[in-house]
């Protein structure tokens, strides 16, 4: 068997970080070599995450973690997003696989430039769930024939950013599909009242935040005498893990900025 991929998790003690720790420990082709979090610093990751047989000190300082653990890939779910972590990783030859959302266009552009400068790839994946990727693909197809569309995204109440990274990406994909198909859509009456949601790429996006939810999205298309709804629900955070492991496995082959899981499928 070839050598295992050396993986570190940033934001390892958060809700997503803990799932990633579990998934990486369970992956036969990966070694979990480092963990960063500003919470539980100095504690043992195995105890904090309840993962049997795991013993790894949680570090706050990513620079010393990179030097000591020598990972090939970092999976970053630190919240809020820290661009400095990405700069440090890429300048040290480490590929960041970023799940944190709320990343700005300027930060994405900087990552693209850093990849050109360093020859080190970087992945920004707003949604690691395969079902969400399919939802976006189907939405792009539907938008060619039913260009009047709005998005309702629903998340748990601890989410910091709104609208969600997935809804922004869906709006971008719909916009691209409508342009390529050369279709026009009707601007609804009612102006730009805040109750109409936030407009992204010409698509109104409505954000719901409630306890009990995980990550859900409806893309609602309207046509003459009919409506079409494409809905995806992540009901458990394990839904994201196959996508995370796929991205880690592809990390060594990537030399530029990869935006979205669909680019890896």
Closest CA to 195 of 227, 228, 150: 150
Site residue total, ligand NAD (CB under 6 A): 26
Which listed residue (9, 11, 178, 247) binds ligand NAD by CB under 6 A? Answer: 11
x/- letters, 47..86, toward ligand NAD (CB under 6 A): ------------------------------xxx--x----
Contact criterion met (CB below 8 Å) for 213 and 206: no
Contact criterion met (CB below 8 Å) for 83 and 104: no
* Residue whose CB is less far from ligand NAD, 159 or 206: 159
Question: To 5 degrees, how large is the angle CA 139–CA 140–CA 141?
Answer: 90
Of 45-53, 121-129, 168-176, 193-201: span binding ligand NAD (CB under 6 A)? 121-129
Contact criterion met (CB below 8 Å) for 125 and 243: yes
Which residues face 262 on adjacent strands?
Answer: none
Q: Please list every residue from 191 through 250 that binds ligand NAD, using CB under 6 A.
A: 215, 240
3-state per-residue secondary structure call for 108-121: HHHHHHHHHHHCCC
Nearest distance in Å: CB 177, ligand NAD: 22
* Residue whose CB is less far from ligand NAD, 183 or 218: 218
Residue indicated by tokens 């552009």: 109
Spell out the alpha helix ranges (H) of 42-164.
45-49, 62-69, 83-91, 105-118, 130-145
Of 123-131, 138-146, 170-178, 217-225: span binding ligand NAD (CB under 6 A)? 123-131
* Residue whose CB is less far from ligand NAD, 91 or 179: 91
Contact criterion met (CB below 8 Å) for 8 and 74: yes
* Residue whose CB is less far from ligand NAD, 101 or 148: 101
10 binds ligand NAD (CB under 6 A): yes
- Clarify whether 159 is annotated catalytic: yes
User: 46: buried, middle or exposed (CB in 10 Å: 19+, 13-18, 0-12)?
Assistant: middle
* Residue whose CB is less far from ligand NAD, 121 or 147: 121
**84 Cβ partners below 8 Å, 6+ apart?**
none
Pick the catalytic residue from 79, 155, 206, 216.
Answer: 155
Under DSSP, the state recorded for 188 is P
Residue indicated by tokens 């969400």: 132
Nearest distance in Å: CB 36, ligand NAD: 5
Which listed residue (72, 101, 148, 204) binds ligand NAD by CB under 6 A? Answer: 101
Q: Please list every residue from 140 through 199 that binds ligand NAD, using CB under 6 A.
A: 159
Nearest distance in Å: CB 182, ligand NAD: 32
Phi, psi of 169 (to 5 degrees): -65, -40
Nearest distance in Å: CB 258, ligand NAD: 13
Closest CA to 250 of 232, 263, 236: 263
Pick the catalytic residue from 159, 206, 216, 232.
Answer: 159
Q: Which residues make up the interface to ligand NAD (CB under 6 A)?
A: 10-11, 13-17, 36-39, 77-79, 82, 99-102, 125-128, 159, 215, 240
């Amino acid at each position: 068997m070839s050598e295992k991929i050396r993986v570190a998790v940033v934001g390892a003690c958060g809700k997503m970080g803990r799932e990633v720790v579990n998934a990486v420990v369970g992956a036969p082709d990966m070694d979990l070599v480092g963990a960063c979090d500003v919470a539980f610093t100095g504690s043992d990751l195995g105890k904090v995450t309840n993962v049997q047989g795991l013993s790894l000190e949680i570090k706050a300082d990513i620079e010393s973690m990179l030097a000591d653990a020598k990972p090939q890939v970092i999976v970053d779910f630190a919240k809020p997003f820290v661009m400095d972590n990405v700069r440090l990783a890429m300048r040290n030859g480490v590929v960041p696989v970023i799940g944190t959302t709320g990343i700005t266009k300027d930060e994405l552009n900087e990552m693209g430039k850093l990849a050109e400068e360093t020859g080190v790839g970087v992945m920004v994946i707003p949604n690691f769930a395969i079902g969400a990727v399919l939802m976006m693909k189907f939405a792009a197809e539907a938008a060619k024939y039913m260009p009047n569309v709005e998005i309702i995204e629903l998340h748990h109440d601890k989410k910091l950013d709104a609208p969600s990274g997935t809804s922004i990406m869906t709006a971008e994909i719909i916009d691209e599909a409508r342009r390529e198909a050369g279709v026009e859509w009707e601007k609804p009456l009612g102006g730009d009242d805040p109750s109409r949601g936030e407009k992204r790429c010409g698509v109104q996006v409505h954000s719901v935040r409630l306890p009990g939810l995980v990550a859900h999205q409806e893309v609602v298309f309207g046509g003459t005498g009919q409506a079409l709804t494409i809905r995806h629900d992540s009901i458990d955070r394990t839904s994201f893990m196959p996508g995370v492991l796929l991205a880690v496995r592809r990390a060594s082959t990537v030399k530029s900025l990869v935006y979205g899981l669909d680019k890896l499928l």
